[in-house]
Amino acid sequence: MKNMHILIDTNIILDWLMQREPFSEDAKYIMEEAMFGGVEGYLSAHTIPDLFYILRKDFDVNKRKQLLLFLCEFLHIITENKEMVVTALKHENWKDLEDGLQMQCAAEKNLDYIVTRNIKDFTDSKIKAVLPGEWIEIYKIQVR
């Protein structure tokens, strides 16, 4: 059985790092499987500066760097290029550039799923977007 390959959306990482309830338990499971289990976890490159900025209220600069370096050690990073940015900007149905780039990154690597709590903005994605709990159910069935 091949490893599952997933793009982990920014909100899942924030749920995990900030222990946001009621989402932190699912986020922890996803992150642990992506870092130490049988899942290949991916982040888009733009997620790193987004996290650095968003986490500024909760963590000092050194802690943020440490957390992001930890993520970079265990997860794959997908670099966006000009073509991906232009495609996201030109897509009529994509209202959020960040989500458009997430979809482009997942499609670029032909990943199995995008795991996000924001599936409403991923309805036009080539790669299926699933809620954390839904992905956990799919994954548990696969590993049986």
- Domain residues of the chain, as ranges? 4-138
Interacting residues of 29 by C-beta distance below 8 A, sequence separation 6+:
132, 136
Distance CA 133, CA 140 (A): 11
Q: Is the pLDDT of residue 94 over 70?
A: yes
pTM, 2 dp: 0.93
Q: Which of 87, 89, 125, 112 is nearest to 34 (CA)?
A: 112
Q: What pLDDT is stored for residue 41 in this prediction?
A: 97
Q: What pLDDT is stored for residue 1 in this prediction?
A: 53
Distance CA 8, CA 6 (A): 6
Distance CA 140, CA 38 (A): 11
In tens, the pLDDT along 34-65 reads 999 889 999 999 999 999 999 999 999 999 99
Q: What pLDDT is stored for residue 93 in this prediction?
A: 76
Cα Dmax for the chain: 42
In tens, the pLDDT along 109-139 reads 999 999 999 999 888 899 999 999 999 999 9
4-138 CATH: 3.40.50.1010
- Confidence grade of residue 87 (pLDDT, cut at 50, 70, 90): confident
- pLDDT higher for 92 or 65? 65
Would you give the distance in Å from CA 94 to the centre of its chain?
A: 17
